[in-house]
Structure 1
Amino acid sequence: MPNDELMPIGAFAQRSGLTSSALRFYADSGLLPPADVDPVSGYRYYSADQVARATALRQLRELAMPLASVEAVLGSGPDEACRLLDNHVARVVGDAAAVQRKAAVIKSALGNVPGLPIAAVKGPVLADAVEQVLTATAHEPGIPALAGLRIEASHEAVTLTATDRYRLSTRTLVPAESSRQTWAGTVDGDELRATAAASRRSPLVRLEAVPNGIRFRAADREDRHCRLLPDEFPDYRLMLASLGEVTTRATVSKDLLLRALEEHPGERLGLHVADHGVNVVSADDEQPGTPLPATATGQALRIWFGLTTLYPAVSTAIGPDVLLDLRGHDQPVTIRSADRGDLTTLAMPINPDHPA
């Protein structure tokens, strides 16, 4: 191949995202040999056709995949490569879970630090509540608190809250045993999800505050530990306190509303609430809406949402019917069960005229 069609190692490093030293290592290991080597200078040259393989190699190594597995993936067809990737991810996830469990045991045993009792709740109830509220979390760069769940315990209740800035979900649990302590902290959402799942089959789970974390204790089970996020959680109570008066209220079947949202063709949709019920409409006036039987009171209102905001807010509601409390086209809507108020979600509307 003529030299003017080849790239020196530095240029190829920039194209592929691999360092020159990494390229030398992968060349020596046989994973990515250069297209040509100058016999006098020893300079290595690469072709443009090798960029895709080099990029895939870099991406696989970023997944902490061993060299032997990388070679197998690069040498396989799409179906086999996908299977190998799935196997690798399963091993990594399993190893991480094992490390997390061992770390929790070590944390609990360090210095035999006694925990401050926070609350005792039923395991299945706690697991369901955590799963429901965690749907409102988000992994946002620079805002780690949005991936956490706020736990606030008082003598009468344990409140779980999460927000991704477009939704806010909060659920209040009645403790199985009253506590004399009040406590609040933001718990890592990913760790809490795994811990809550393990608590589902425990009749009673005791929450204890420990340095930099919270401990979950259940009879005949290993203690679980979740770390606290040091970042400040958004002041959701101020937002709740500043909500305006409800001007429109509608009660609608959860299943019917979810089906209408699933069948809606666009990423944005409107709810037209009037005396006749709730109509799921499109920004395109030529598209027919989906009328839903509902009980509606107050002012007629049309309000717009992103599907990714409204759908999870409705799907996590408890019970067969959802209650929508609306305050205007530009104000958050409150979504909760029509007959149970312990899980409440706020969903932010959008301006349909603004670009996505």
Structure 2
Amino acid sequence: MRSIGEMARDGGLSVSALRFYDRAGVLVPAWVDPVSGYRWYEPEQLEEARLLARLRRAGMPLADIRLVLAGWAGPDTDLVRGLLQAHLRRLELGLSDARSEFSTLRALLDHRETNPMTSPHTATARLSVPVPELAAALDAVRFAAGTDAELPMLGGILFDIEGEGLHLVATDRYRMAVAQAHATGHGGPRTQVVVPLPLADAMRALLTGEEPARLAVDGDSVALETGDRQTSGQSLGHEFPDYRRLVQLPAGRRAHVDTAAFQKALETGPVRASETREQDGEPYDLSVLRVTENGSVIVCDDGDDDQNNVAVNREFLLHALTAGARDELILELGAPTAPLAIRRPDDEGAFSLLMPVRLEN
């Protein structure tokens, strides 16, 4: 029999994906150790794992994948061929519609490039920032930075300098984190620079002393000095999304939560087992939240279908709670389609937003 690690290596699926497909009833291990809970697979299940990996890369829905796997080993392959052909037709129709829309969008972008609008491009800036504030700001946003090679502008942290304020922002499309720190010495116009993650991490490693940190931006060059230590590098050179538009949210229902207790409730509480979800090809657990009449936030049971429930990626929420770095945090839940906000009671300038996940009816 193959261990879950061996199956992941040879089957083209991650260990977390195999656990996910086990819970979803798509690829169930042949035996689970009753003591350790470790999963073991029969040799013939390797072919199923490889088939599953191919179907997911092709974007086939899990409901259809179940049927393909069920019919794959049978003598009658008509069902399997029909499912594959139907999915291919859906992809072709979707691609045709997408080509038409993207053709229009490219024309609009060409027009914008020939008639550019003004924006706070990287310029020259010199400012001083308290070390504890800059360190806390980096810690608060680092988890939300993107890693998608197709979106290099999200693979860093935005340093937005304006007046005596420095805002740090990171997003990977599904979540966003914003933090702020006081700055002195900058008297010029608003300046923005996207600091790549390796440089941002090197900056964070310097922030251990008591002296103010000195940040310098000169065109594409970014440098940070603390005491007699310095790190520097090149900015990403990409425009960052206008985060100010993305954080203009309608007021939601606010609830104070004990961070440690709420983290434990998430880690041990129910997930939406009836729905299988993936994000950029990786499966994840879905937690469903609701604000009760007494103002507390609960993790809903699988059968709780209240229309005001808000569903989120559980791992992302746990990351946001840790980055909040407070014993108590404020959760702000709006409509089920509105982002979930995680705020600090003593500093609402530092917050995280998580995009909700639409629940299937």
Please confirm whether the aligned pair reaches a TM-score higher than 0.5, indicating the same fold.
yes
SS across alignment from 1:341:
strand
Match of 1:260 in 2: 265
1:117-128 correspondence runs (5 A): 117-128=125-136
Asked if the contact 2:125/2:191 (under 8 Å) is kept, the reply is no
TM-score normalised by structure 1 residue count: 0.58
Q: Secondary structure at the match of 1:342?
A: strand
Residue 237 (structure 1) aligned with residue 255 (structure 2): no
Q: Which amino acid aligns with 2:254?
A: R
The CA distance in 1 between the partners of 2:215 and 2:268, in whole Å, is 42
Give 1:351 shift. 1.7
Residues of 1 paired with 2:226 and 2:319: CA distance?
Answer: 31
Counting only pairs closer than 5 Å after superposition, residues 110-189 of structure 1 correspond to structure 2 as 116-175=124-183, 177-181=184-188, 182-189=190-197
Instruction: Look up the match of 2:254.
Output: 249
State the match for 2:302 in structure 1. Answer: 283
Q: Is the 8 A contact 1:324 1:334 kept in 2?
A: yes
Distance 1:334 1:186, change over 3 A: same
Q: Distance in 1 between matches of 2:223 and 2:148?
A: 26
Q: Return structure 1 stretches of 4+ with deviation > 6 angstroms.
A: none
CA change 1:302–1:225 in 2 (3 A) is same
User: Structure 1 unaligned runs (5+)?
Assistant: 1-114, 287-298
| Aligned match of 1:272 | 290
Q: Conserved in 2, the CA contact under 8 Å of 1:268 and 1:306? A: yes
Asked if 1:344 corresponds to 2:331, the answer is no
CA gap 1:253/1:300 in 2 versus in 1, 3 angstroms:
farther
For these two proteins, the number of residue pairs brought into alignment is: 224
Q: Which residue of 1 aligns with 2:26?
A: none
Amino acid in the other structure paired with 1:253: D
* Structure 1 residues 206 and 351: CA distance shift in structure 2, 3 A: same
- Give, in angstroms, the shift of residue 141 of structure 1: 2.2
Given that 1:302 and 1:329 are in contact with CA atoms closer than 8 Å, whether structure 2 keeps it comes out as: yes
Unaligned segments of structure 2, at least 5 residues: 1-122, 272-284
- TM-superposed CA distance for 1:132, in Å, is 1.9
- Structure 1 distance, partners of 2:240, 2:347, is 26
Residues 256 and 131 (structure 1), Cα distance of their counterparts in 2 relative to 1, 3 Å cut: same
- Identical counterparts, % of pairs: 25
CA distance 1:232–1:282, shift in 2 (3 Å): farther
In structure 2, what is the Cα distance between the partners aligned to 1:331 and 1:123? 34
- Going from structure 1 to structure 2, the CA distance change for 1:282 and 1:119 (only over 3 Å counts) comes to farther
Aligned partners of 1:196, 1:202: CA distance in 2, in Å?
14
Contact 1:317 1:335 in 2 (8 A): yes
Partner Cα separation in structure 2 for residue 219 and residue 195 of structure 1: 13
Structure 1 residue 285: Cα displacement: 5.1
Query: For 1:227, which of 231, 234, 238 is the aligned residue?
Result: 234
SS at match of 2:214: strand
**Between Structure 1 and Structure 2, whose CA radius of gyration is higher?**
1
Write the deviation string for residues 163-216 of structure 1: whole angstroms up to 9, x where unpaired.
Answer: 0111110001112x3421232111101211122212322521111112312111
Superposition CA RMSD, Å: 2.3
